[in-house]
DNA sequence: GAATCTATCTATAACAC
DNA sequence: TGTGTTATAGATAGATT
């Protein structure tokens, strides 16, 4: 859709490529925005240029859509398991581990952000500080629960003396305390 | 770009909307694919239909691009902190806590999923089990690092005697061991 | 209700500044 | 490097099957 037809193949000239990238990225985000409005769809897009500069579009937000996607992925994989379909090879498992590590990085970032924000609020809004601190400690408690579950998992890997369902129950029990 | 021009506003007729969604989603993914080939860009797209059905496109993969994006986000937020930019109000903070809790739940599910998969592999592929177990323990170690960071944060909230940047350094130091 | 067709609209490649 | 213009390729709204 330009003066000439172009082949869909790597653009070699860096200058032309940069212009093409900028224009088509803009076009892609515009299309995504139209799709979300026309059809009430939720969309997240992340793009990296060849120089590794990140660009993103999200309606209602990249994080929201990403989290939703991950939940669906889990449900899907659970369904697969319930049907006793073959589980993938070792590579897929390692990919899952990488996914989790990536998300742990996000948690880390959020945690550091909270540190900063809490500190500022502590200085500027002492009346609300107590409430927020409670939330924060609650969050921490939940993370510990998770870590506990991981520890139980370790035992399971090393000893394999207990069915997996038991772990789920243990976590839930711990939650209710 | 059809027989008639349409306004960019919610399509009311469910039938028409479904057709539009399907066509434009296909078009969007095609454009994304062209952009990635033409410009050597890495792209991830996630779309949810109005009925919450998920669709995704990724080059080289949704997970890969998402993880890369999150790492960049972390770097960016650290820069923001260094520049002492304004942070938002208490409502936003509570929202952040809810977000994190939601993602912790996801991690929990993933952990349990891994238990299940690992157990299956232990039974069916003993030769690869050792390698996977190592990855799992490595993942566990990283999660512990994160928990440690949270613990440091607790001290910071309660005592507020240490600048936040120090925490980041501590986490990084711990990582390298 | 999905696939195909086609008139028309939109995105953009090349150009220009 | 960015912004604007224009001729043309490509996407798609509505129709048809």
Nearest to A48 by CA among B45, B79, B75: B45
Of A32-46, A137-151, B29-43, B74-88, which range is least confident?
B74-88
User: Which burial class, exposed, middle or buried, applies to B116 when counting CB atoms under 10 A from its CB (0-12, 13-18, 19+)?
Assistant: middle
Which string of b and e fits A79-110 if b means at least 16 CB within 10 Å?
eeeeeeeebeeeeebeebbebbebbbbbbbbb
A26 touches strand C (CB under 7 A): yes
- What integer pLDDT is reported at residue B61 of this predicted model? 85
pLDDT in tens, A70-106: 767 655 555 544 443 334 444 444 455 555 555 555 5
**Span B127-140, mean pLDDT?**
51
pTM of the model: 0.57
Name the DSSP class of A10: -
Cα–Cα dist A140/B106, whole Å: 16
For residue B157, is pLDDT > 70?
A: no
- A34 contacts B31? CB cut-off 8 A: no
A115 token code pair? 């540190």
Nearest to B167 by CA among B157, B176, B156: B156
Where are the alpha helices (H) located in chain A, listed in sequence order? 14-39, 62-82, 90-124, 126-159, 164-176
- What integer pLDDT is reported at residue B32 of this predicted model? 94
Q: Which residue has the tokens 């993933």?
A: B110
CB-nearest partner of B103 from A8, A103, A149:
A103
CA angle A49, A55, A58 (to 5 degrees): 145
- What integer pLDDT is reported at residue B86 of this predicted model? 37
Residue A3 sits at φ, ψ, to 5 deg, of -60, -35
- A21 contacts B110? CB cut-off 8 A: no
- What integer pLDDT is reported at residue A66 of this predicted model? 82
CA distance B126 to chain A (A): 12
Strand partners, A55: A47
For residue B22, is pLDDT > 80?
A: yes
- First CA to last CA distance, chain B: 58
Computed over its alpha carbons, how large is the radius of gyration of chain A? 23
Name the DSSP class of A125: -
Nearest residue on chain A to B43, judged by CA atoms? Answer: A47
CA distances from A68 to A60, A64, A75, B39, B56 (A): 12, 6, 11, 29, 12
- B111 contacts A146? CB cut-off 8 A: yes
Mean pLDDT across chain A, nearest whole number?
65
Cα–Cα dist B48/B46, whole Å: 7
CB-nearest partner of A153 from B111, B144, B146:
B111
pLDDT in tens, B73-102: 655 555 544 443 334 444 444 444 455 555
For residue A38, is pLDDT > 70?
A: yes
- First CA to last CA distance, chain A: 63
CA distance B69 to chain A (A): 7
Nearest to B89 by CA among A75, A120, A141, A105: A120
Domains, chain A, in order of start with CATH, read 14-82 (3.40.1810.10), 92-152 (no CATH)
């Amino acid at each position: 859709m330009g003066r000439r037809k172009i082949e869909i193949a790597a653009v070699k000239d860096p200058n032309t490529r940069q212009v093409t990238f900028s224009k088509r990225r803009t076009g892609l985000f515009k299309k995504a925005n139209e799709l979300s409005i026309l059809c009430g769809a939720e969309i997240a897009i992340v793009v990296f240029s060849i120089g590794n500069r990140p660009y993103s579009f999200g309606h209602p937000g990249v994080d929201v859509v990403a989290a939703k996607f991950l939940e669906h992925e889990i449900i899907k994989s659970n369904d697969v398991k319930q049907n006793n379909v073959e589980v993938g090879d070792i590579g897929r498992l390692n990919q899952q581990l990488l996914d989790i590590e990536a998300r742990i990085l996000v948690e880390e970032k959020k945690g550091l952000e909270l540190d900063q924000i809490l500190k500022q609020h502590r200085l500027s809004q002492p009346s609300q500080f107590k409430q927020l601190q409670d939330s924060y400690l609650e969050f921490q408690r939940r993370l510990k629960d998770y870590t506990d579950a991981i520890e139980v998992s370790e035992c399971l890997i090393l000893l394999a003396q207990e069915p997996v369902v038991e772990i789920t129950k243990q976590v839930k029990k711990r939650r209710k305390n």
